[in-house]
Each structure stands twice: as C-alpha cells, then as structure tokens.
Structure 1
Amino acid sequence: MAKRKNGRKGSKFFRVFSLLFSILLILITALLIIQLIRLNVLPIFFVLPISIILVTITLLFVIFLVFKSKKGLSRFIFSILVLILSFVYSVGNYYLFETNKAFDSVTNLTTKITNTLSVRVMNDTISDEQQLSGKTLGYFSSMDVDDLSRLSSALQSDGIEYSSISYDDIFEMVDDLYNGYIDGILFNESFSGVITSDETYSMFVNRTTPVYSTTYYTDNEKNIEDSLDDVSVDSEPFTILISGNDSYGQFSENSRSDMNMLVTVNPKTATVLMTSIPRDYYVPIAELTDGYSDQELYDKLTHSGLYGVQTTEKTIENFLNTEINYYVRVNFSSLINLVDAIGGVDVYVEPGLAVDAFYADTTLGGVNEGWNHLNGKQALAFSRERHAYIDGDNQRVRNQQIVLKALISSLTKPTMLLNYPNFVSALSGAFETNMPAASISKLLKFEFGNFPKWQFESTSLIGYDGNDFCASLGTYAYVLVPDELSIQTTHDKIEAVRQGGSSNDVEERNVEG
C-alpha cells in the first residue's frame, strides 16, 4: 500500500515538473519565432518552414513527455531531451537577440552619435581594470565636463578609487604617461585623431591600451538623411562608397578620409566591383570655393573628409562622372574591432611585396610572402602601408582590397559560429551609413534567399607624383596627380558592371605621362 502511495506521489511530482518543462519549452519556442520574424532578414519562404519545424519539434517533445512517457526510464530520457532542446533554443534566442540589437544599433547610427570614454594606459603595465585602484590618472582640462563626470562615476560604481591630475596641454599629459609620471589617462577616444596627427605622437594608439571603457549615445544634431538615390538593392545595381576616416572611436567629428573605395554591386549578375581611389588624389573638392567664384578648389581627396562624408561622395561622383547610391563610413577602430572579433584574417602577399616592419607601428612586425594571419592592429597597419612599396599609394589601395576580401572570406568560415557573439557586438557602432534600414534588410533577404555565388572584381585609379597647392593646407604639398585615361577606364568599368557585364571586358588604356 505504501509503495502504491509513493508511486502515486512520484507520478504526480513528475507530471508537475513535466508540465513546467513543457510550458518553459513552449515559451522559449514562441520567443525564438518572434525574434526570427522581428529580425526581418530571412525570406518568408524560409521563416515559415523554420517556424513550422520549430513548433512541430516542440509539440512532439511535449506530447511524448506529458502523455506518452509512462515508465521511469522514458520519462527521464525525455526530460533530459526537453532540457537540452530548451538550452539549444535559448542559445538561438541569445544569438537572435544580439543580432537584433546590433542591427538596431547600426540602423540607428543615422540619428545617434557613439561616444566612447576610456582609461588608457601604457602597453603591458596594467592588464585589469581593478588594478586602476590607487593609481594616478591624468585628464585633459578641455575634456567635456559631462564626459569626465560620466567616466568618473562609472569607475567609482565599479569600486575603482583613484587620484587625478588636470592638464591644460594634451601633449604634456601624453608625455607624462609615456614617462611614467602618471599611470593612465581619463580619455575621450575622439581626441585620438588630435594626438596622432602630430608626428611625435603618431604611435599613441599603438603604444597604449584602453583597460576600461564605457559607451553612450547622443542625438546627432546633423541627422543623416537616407540616400536620395535609394534603389531596389535586390534587383537593381548600386554603388556604395566606403570611406575610412583616419580616427579612432566615434564618428561625431569629421576627419580626413584615409581610405576611399567604391563597391559596385549588380545583384542580377552577382558581380561585385571594388574600385580603390588613392587618398592623395588631386581633385576639385565639391562645393569648396574661395568665395569669389564658383570654381571648385583643388586638394587631396583625403581632405574632403574634413567637410563631411557627403562632400567626399559628391567629389568622387563629379570626377568619375558616376552615381553613388549609398555611403558607409568607418574608422580605424571599426576595422580593428571587427577583425579581432572574428579571430583575425588571412591575407596573401605576392612575391616581392613582403614588409619587414609596418611603418605605422614597427612593434607589430610586418608580412611575409605567401599567407599571413593578421589581427586587428596588423590588418589596419597592412591596409595603411605605403612606405615599404615603390608603388606607394597605389599598392596601399590594393592592400585595402585584400583586407576587405579576407574579412568577407572569414565571415563565411564555420569558425564564425563560435565568434558570432563577438562579431555582432563589434558590429554595433562599427560604421555609419545612409542606406535605409529597409534596404539593408532587403539586401540580407536577397543574400539568404538566393545565396548567389558572388564574382569579385577589382580596379584601382592611378596617377603620378606631384607637388601642388592644397586648398585645405594653404600651401603646396605632395599629391598624386590623376591620370585622365585611368579615370575614363574606371568610369567605363563601373558602368559595365552596372549594365550587367564585367569590368574585365573593358580594355585598359595606356596611362598618360
């Protein structure tokens, strides 16, 4: 009799827990489907069957657990299986949540400014934020009061107590950091460009490490409008300007465009043409005049970034006589963070193009002939290298294309599944774009719905060394004088891809000079 009662109690106990497990699994499944729909990057013919499969699997497990499992062993087995399935679905929910968050962050960058505050220390001195307690930290007196207060409050809330010294001269503060008179600096990453623009401190970012950082967002008073040249990106050709600023941290201030690349995509032919433009290309800057005439003034293309990415876009449209539909603005931090998030990239260096030590930071080493695995800082240095090459600026733009291809290749490797959370985290705040959220979603749906075999092609504008007057500097400086035949050839290559052909069908013209 006692055994029967104990059996009934055990059976009742199991039914209660099996019911709870079932409800939990149903809720997790429902949340997974909701997040999948909200992501809005998969075609409906994918979302619908995936949802049906998820619901079917869940119902089968619930039915077997609650109604079919009678014996102790089968109950135990299905209980474990339900818990495992709940865990798998929970991981899926986490991945989708992080992806949704990153996607929202990217599309909101048109109205938000990312502000990154950090504590920077010399490399190999302080490895953990808790080691900042009791240290002496310097700060630049011109640093925004709200930023200083926000960073100080964040440190104190984490139990980090420190003493501070104010500096009126930012370079004096960096000198004291270098010489060990202070242990670190309270820093707004937007000042990186100010410091590294001075040749004496050009290695500042490489010699220091942010051991503590916090990020917040503010409204962008100069809201970036969606592209006026928006097209149906899943059926019409389009061109994107990728403009890389020579700065770290956030995008709140304009800075020189260190890298400019056009990416022309024809979804119908699955062709992608990458067109690199030397940063020192000597061209008329759009809407930059002396105020006495409508004649646009000449300058290095890199200086167009000082007037905003829209100026860079218009400048390139003018001298190439082509339409640019969208722009994507990135900076040094973007590349470093994205490459590190996926575990580095593999680049192939042709014979004769090995580099003993990168000019941007000799401590990073260089690259050898053949395959090289690069981390974020090395990939950035490789993308910026020109001093080691006879072909200087022209080889630098080729290196940028190599890194971009390597980044895309790494994203398609199976190891990306392990790096996925890090990647989507790095993606948040990694770039600024005027491509509408609807177009980004449509492009992703096209990719996942068709899995096109993209054909990558590349070309580069060329020129010859010169020394001309640069409007932004008010004096003469080194420039790369454009080769007019190269400009015409590049224009024709872009148009060939847009019209459904290949850039390789356009014959190279003999360069001038």
Structure 2
Amino acid sequence: MQRKSSFEDFEELMNKASETEKTREELEFNPETARRQPEPKIPAVGSEMFDEGEDDAEARYRRREERLRKKAEKRRRSKHWGGRILAIIQLILSVIFMGALFVLDVLPLKYFVIISIVFVLLALICFGLQFGRKTHWIGKVISILMCLVLILGSVYVIKTKYTLDTVTKTKMYQTDKIVIAVMAEDEAQSVEDAKDYEFGIMSALDRSKVDQAIEQINGNLKSEIDTSEFDSYSELVQALYKGKVDAMIYNQALDELIEENNPGFLEKIRIIDNFNVETQVLMEDVPDLPITKQPFIVYLSGMDVYGELEQTSRSDVNIMACVNPATKQVLLVSVPRDAYVEIPGITSGEKDKLTHAGMYGVRYSMAAMEEIFDVDISYYVRVNFTSLIMMVDALGGVDVESEYAFSTYYKQYDEATDTWSYYEYDKGMNHLSGKYALAFARERMNAAGGDYQRAKNQQKVIAALLEKLKSPAILTGYTGLLSSLEGKMDTNLSAQQIASLVKMQLNDAAEWNIVSANVYGISSEEYCASYAEAPLAVEVLDDDSVEAVQEVIEKLMAGEVISEPRKTELQEIYEVDDADDGEYLDNHASDDEYDDFYWENGGYESDKTSKAQSSASDAAALDSTSDETDDTY
C-alpha cells in the first residue's frame, strides 16, 4: 500500500477537526441534543494544541449550559414569588375589609366569623397554589379577582360608616330663615336697593331671631335700617299693603300661618333677600338605652318641605312609634296635624296647633306629644318629602296595600316625560316607587276618610318601609338608604344604636307585629297661641280616643301582645267601612281650579299657597277635619 505523504495526513486531520468544531456548534445551539448525543472526540495526532482546543470547547459548552439552566430556574422562581406576593396582598386586604366590617358593627358575630374564615382560607389556598407548576396561574387569577372585590368592598363599608355617622350627627343648632318681603310690583331687587326703606317687624313673636337678622343686614349695608314694630302679623301685612312700611322682616316658617288669615299674601309679596339665623338647640341628654332589649318611643316628624332639611318648618306628619324589641312589636300612633294641644315651653298653658310646634323646633313637638299621651319620648326622626322619595327608591320600592281604588285629586308633573297625570292606586297591593309612595301618603282630598285616611296611608307606607328594612334588601340597600338620608334626615339616635338594630334583625330575621292607631278629634275654631288675631281651624282631641291608645301603649311596654285599640264612638263616625268601586278614582279637581303657579312649578309646594287651594276648599267637604290650611293633598 502506498504510504500517505505528510501533507495528506495533515490535510485529513484538519478536515476532521473542522467537522468536529461544526458538530460542537450545533450541540451548543441545541442543549437538549447535546445531552442526548455523546461528545465527539478529536483524534490525537501528536500535537498538544488540539488537546487544549478540545478541553476549552467542552468547558465553554458546560458553562453555557449552566447559565441557561440557571436563567430558566430563576424565571420559574420569580413567577411563583409574584403569585405568593399577590396572595399576601389578598390576605392583607381581607384583614382591612373585616376590620372595616367590625367597626361598622352591623354584621352578627356568627356571620362575621364565617366570612373571616372564608377570606383567610382563600388567601392561604391561593398562596399554596403557587408551589405547583400548572396551578400557580389559577392562584394568581383568584388572587387578582379577590383583591378587586376586597378593595371595592372596603370602600363600600367605609363609605357606609361615614354616611351613618353623618346622618346621626346630632345637630347643636337649628336654622331659621328670616326673609325680607316687599310688594310684588316693588322695584327693589335686593336689600341694597331697599336700604332707605321702612321695615316692619313684630314687637314680640320671633323677635330675637329677627334682631339677629337685622344685625346681619346692618353689617352688610354698613348702616342701620329703620324699623317699625307691630303687635300682630295682620297689622304688619296691612301696613305693607297700604304703604305704611315699604318692606317686612319675618320668619319664613310662618308663611302658612300668615296666609291662613291673610289670603293671597304669598302671591302679593316678593322675597328680595333672606338670612339664616342659627340658635342653639337645648335638648335634654339623650338616653343611651339598649334599644335592642328595652322598649322605647320614637317621634316621627314629617316636614312639609322638599330639598335639604336645614330650617324649621311645620310638622305636618306627627307619628309616635312605640317599639318593644324583645317582643318584636311596633305601635304606630298618628295625631292630626291640627290637634289643639298645649306646647310646653312655648304656649305657657295656652293651646295651639300641633303642627305649629315644629316651627319652634323638634323638641317642642316631642314635648307636645308627651303631654298628650303622658309618656316619655326618648328619640326623634325628622324627615321631609325628599327623604321619603329617596328612601323608598333606595330600597327598590315598597309594597303598600290600599283599602280601595283611588287616584290623586290634583294632577302631578313627571319631569322624565314632561307630562301631567294623576297617580292611580288599585284596591289591594300596590308596588310603589318613591314619588308614588309620597303621593299615596299625602292624598287627603280624594280619600274616603279625609285626613284620617291620610294618616292611615302614611302608617301603611311606614309599615312597608319597616318590612323592607327587616328583609335581605337592607344588605344591598343599606348604603344607598343612608346616602338618601344625608342632609334630609335629622335624628338623635346614635350610629351605634341604628347599627345594633340592623344587626339584631340580620341575626334573628324575626317577624314583627306592626299595629296602627289614630287619635280622633272634633273640628272647631279656636284661638291659638302662635296667632291670637283670629280663631283658627283646629281638632279638639277626643279624650276617649286618647285613652284607647294609652291602653295599648301600656300593654306594649309591659311586653304583652297588642292589637288595634278599641273603637271609640267618634272613630266609628269617621270611619268609612266600604268605598264604592271607582268612587274615588275619577274625582279630580277641574282645570279651572289650577292657577298659573301650579302649571309653572309642577304643582303646589308646601311653602307656597295658591288661589287654587282656596277655590278647591269647597271640594274639601269630604275632609271632615276642616284642614283647609294643609298642603295640596
């Protein structure tokens, strides 16, 4: 055989080295292949440089493979730590949420413990899922969703607590709106225009509040206005009409009282300025009763105004709620707004209309109610028309049973549809929204029993609200309900007391026995302490009717099962047993009973009086209470 030359040997060796290097590059590019295939070796041909090249290539490959492995492991670990951190955040948010719930204190202990355990377990499960190669994504998704839920839930609970504290914040001052009125055709548009006018004021009634307003006026004008004093509002009004004074300063809460004996007054004058006067409310210390265990009485006052509940006004709804939480019973007692009663602290032994007590402050209304029934009223809740509408809507409407079919006497304006229509109610159960519930509670002219039927309807709406409050609807509507009352409800019940009542109901879900009662009276005309110029239409309460209610109150306080008070002779006279079908369905006011103000302002508001009210007085014959000074309904 022919021996290869040295050159051929060298060329063959170089070719094999080139192929080996190529193979190594491919193996380094694909580590998986490198682990499966054996390392090719370069034949030793007698040169040390080739042995050193082989060692360097292997070392480089091993170092590269180690770097790739470590990077993959680091990425895997970093993914798992992200999920674990999410689970820890979820646990922290769970603690914050449960802390907020604990402070709100409306959730019964058993539910609080169950929810706490569930939230903690969810956080631990999500943390544990991060140790699995395939389950860590499930844990991450659950953690993200739970974090969002807990954040929103915490905001909801904190907002609820804030709103509850705001609603139950006891007002230390009451506000009276003192106004300046001129004749409607007067050129003055502000008090600055009228600074040289002669201003008429009362010599006694509301004098301290008027004096405070005059101080504000003088301060704004940087000069003193001229005033003339009068002994009665009729004299003051006539002086304005005849030009003896150019303007009058008075408490706007007395609008209806002045209008009653000076018909057309509110149409003939124009308000050019007003001043809020604050006076300290001197309420007795509010008893901190355990109202989930002991009986208590709450005075419910309905003010005949819309909007914010800031200033004093007549109390057109006067209901006493006697509650026994141990026996789960409530007695609702309605007293006519025109009840002729003594107002302790105001009338000095004389009598006045119960509705007028509200003009001086809620504590005087409470004192008058205590005087009637010889009871102690610990708490009050004061609301207005807007409050009722928003409360009902926040709870998703209420179910109210009507004793007969009827429609409202006056037309109602619907802003959404820009139309006028009558609210109609079926005999039996009616599901009512806020505005329908308000119209149901205010209607008296087209009611079989007049003002007494209206009192019954008001109690039906309150009972329907109580039914909603003790149902699961309170869970979803609690914050909305409180928000609807912010600025539109005044109460001396504490936040803790209200929360304890909610907690009690959620804990036992008990059924309540709600009983309604009315106090009846005889229509008359008497002189009233707030307006001694002429007799006013009043209701002289029937002693037997009051005693019948007192008997039931005593039973409730003693823990006995109660029912409606015994019927009195006067009650039987007023009650209408059966209303003919349709009799009160189409009995509406005719178009000529409406005036321009009615159409322009969407109906009659309580702080306005229109000619239609007086022209409609003939139709009010069905109202045996002679409540001609009441609002439209």
TM-score by length of 2: 0.59
1:83 and 2:140 matched: no
For 1:418 and 1:20, locate their aligned partners in 2 and report how far apart those are by CA, in whole Å: 32
Of 364, 384, 395, which aligns to 1:331? 384
Q: Alpha-carbon deviation of 1:222?
A: 2.3
The answer to whether the aligner puts 1:300 opposite 2:353 as a matched pair is yes
Q: Which residue is 1:70 aligned to?
A: 133
Aligned with residue 364 of structure 2, among 311, 329, 332:
311
Aligned-partner Cα distance in 2 for 1:361–1:201? 25
Following the alignment from structure 2 to structure 1, what is the Cα–Cα distance between the partners of residues 85 and 520? Answer: 68
- In structure 1, what is the Cα distance between the partners aligned to 2:80 and 2:477? 40
Are 2:429 and 1:368 equivalent residues in the alignment? Answer: no
Alpha-carbon spacing, 1:142–1:75, altered in 2? closer, same or farther (3 Å) = farther
Q: Greater shift after overlay, 219-228 or 442-451?
A: 219-228
Secondary structure at 1:263 match in 2 = strand
* 1:143-182 equivalence runs, <5 A: none
Query: Rg: which structure is higher?
Result: 2
The match for 1:443 is: 501
- Structure 2 segments unaligned to the other structure (5+ residues): 1-30, 32-64, 177-188, 193-250, 267-275, 415-419, 574-633
Whether the aligned pair in 1 keeps the contact of 2:174 and 2:281 (CA below 8 Å) is no
Instruction: Label 1:53 to 1:225 Cα distance change in 2 as closer, same or farther (>3 A).
Output: farther
TM-fit CA distance, 1:463: 1.7
Match of 1:26 in 2: 91
Aligned-pair CA distance for 1:226: 6.6
1:382 counterpart letter in structure 2: F
Map residues 429-468 of structure 1 onto 2, 5 A cutoff: 429-468=487-526
1:255 paired residue number: 313
Amino acid at match of 2:401: Y
Do structure 1's residue 241 and structure 2's residue 299 form an aligned pair? yes
Asked if the contact 2:254/2:359 (under 8 Å) is kept, the reply is no
Q: In structure 2, how many angstroms separate the alpha carbons of the residues matched to 1:426 and 1:285?
A: 32
Q: Once the 2 structures are TM-superposed, how far is the Cα of residue 326 of structure 1 from its aligned partner?
A: 0.9
Which of 324, 345, 350 in structure 2 is aligned with 1:287? Answer: 345
1:54 has 2:119 as partner: yes
Offset of residue 386 of structure 1: 0.9
Q: Which runs of structure 2 are paired with 1:174-213 in the superposition (5 Å)? A: none
From 79, 85, 88, the equivalent of 1:14 is 79
Q: Distance in 1 between matches of 2:278 and 2:451?
A: 34
More relative contact order, 1 or 2 (CA 8 Å, 6+ apart): 1
Contact map agreement 2:342 2:352 (CA 8 A) in 1: yes
Contact 1:106 1:431 in 2 (8 A): yes
CA distance in 1, matches of 2:99, 2:277: 29
Q: Report the more deviating stretch, 251-260 or 193-202.
A: 193-202
Aligned counterpart, 1:175: none
Q: Given the superposition, is the C-alpha separation of residues 194 and 419 from structure 1 closer, same or farther in structure 2, using an over 3 Å criterion? A: farther
**Which shows bigger deviation, 232-241 or 245-254?**
245-254
1:106 is aligned, of 155, 167, 174, to 167
Change (3 A) 1:494 1:274: same
Aligned 8 A contact 1:274 1:456 in 2: yes
CA separation of 1:429 and 1:356: change in aligned 2, threshold 3 A: closer
Q: How far apart, in 1, do the equivalents of 2:496 and 2:565 lie?
A: 34
Unmatched tracts of structure 1, length 5 or more:
116-139, 144-189, 203-217
2:302 and 2:383 in contact (8 A); partners too: yes
Query: 1:480 aligns to what?
Result: 539
Deviation at 1:89, TM superposition (A): 2.2
Q: Deviations over 1:8-54 (max 9, x none)?
A: 35423422421331232122111101101111233445434433332
Identify the residue that residue 211 of structure 1 maps to in structure 2.
none
Counterpart residue type for residue 487 of structure 1? V
Task: Indicate if the aligned counterparts of 2:167 and 2:482 stay in contact, CA closer than 8 A.
Answer: no
How far apart are the structure 1 equivalents of 2:342 and 2:565? 26
> What's the counterpart of residue 402 of structure 1?
460
**RMSD value over aligned CA atoms?**
3.6
Equivalent residue, structure 1, for 2:242: none
Deviation at 1:319? Answer: 1.5
CA spacing shift, 1:227–1:449, aligned 2, 3 Å: farther
Shift of 1:197: 9.7
Q: TM-score, normalised by structure 1?
A: 0.72
Residue 88 of structure 1 and its aligned partner are, at CA, apart by 2.6
- Cα deviations across residues 428-458 of structure 1 (Å, max 9, x unaligned)? 2331112234433433333333333211111
Please tell me whether residue 508 in structure 1 is matched to residue 571 in structure 2. Answer: no
Kept in 2: contact 1:349–1:367 (CA 8 A): no
The alignment partner of 2:291 has SS state of: coil
- Tell me the distance in 2 between the aligned counterparts of 1:494 and 1:307: 27
C-alpha distance in structure 2 between counterparts of 1:345 and 1:472, whole Å:
38
Q: Which moved more, 1:355-364 or 1:55-64?
A: 355-364
Q: 1:275 to 1:219 in 2, by over 3 A?
A: same
For 2:410 and 2:162, the matched residues in 1 are separated by 36
1:367 to partner: Cα distance? 2.4
Letter in 2 for 1:102: T
Letter in 2 for 1:70: R
Q: Measured at CA, do residues 333 and 449 of structure 1 come closer, stay the same or move farther in structure 2, by a change above 3 Å?
A: same
The 5 A counterparts of 1:488-507 are 488-504=547-563, 507=566
Please report how far the alpha carbon of residue 420 of structure 1 lies from its aligned counterpart in structure 2 after TM superposition. Answer: 4.8
Residue pair 1:277, 1:460 contacting (<8 A) in 2 also: yes
Cα displacement (A) at 1:221: 5.9
Distance 1:18-1:112 versus aligned 2 partners, 3 A rule: farther
Alignment partner of 1:322 out of 358, 375, 386: 375
**Any idea what the Cα deviations from partners look like across 1:434-492, whole Å, max 9, x if unmatched?**
22344334333333333332111111111232222222233222222211110110111
366-375 vs 224-233, greater mean Cα deviation: 224-233
